[in-house]
Amino acid sequence: MADLTFIDDGNPDFVHGLINFSKRRLDYQVIASIQLYQAKPFNFREVPQIREYLIDFPESSDAAEKENYERSLELEPRGAERSQIA
């Protein structure tokens, strides 16, 4: 969906008063790609342990999200070399 948003935001609907068919072609390419993946069934088997884990997974608060993000930056600072990562 982000691709469609970027296409919409980054390209005018009209060029010199005419429909921007290049933009519509980009839209088509993204939608066709989505449809391709939707047409194939996935052979997933349910794993009860994983299902229960996800159902019981606690919702995160904004404070917890911020704490987790800050901890992530401590462990893997932006721009750090591989040898600097904890």
How does the average pLDDT of the chain come out, rounded? 90
Give the pTM: 0.50
Task: Identify whether the C-beta of residue 22 lies closer than 8 Å to the C-beta of residue 12.
Answer: no
Q: What does the pLDDT look like over 52-71, one tens digit per residue?
A: 999 988 887 888 889 999 99
Dist CA 3 CA 32 (whole Å):
12
CA dihedral 38, 40, 45, 51 (to 10 degrees): -10
- Inter-residue contact 68 to 60 (CB < 8 Å): yes
Query: What average pLDDT does range 17-26 have in this prediction?
Result: 97
Give the model's confidence band at 86: pLDDT under 50 very low, under 70 low, under 90 confident, else very high. Answer: low
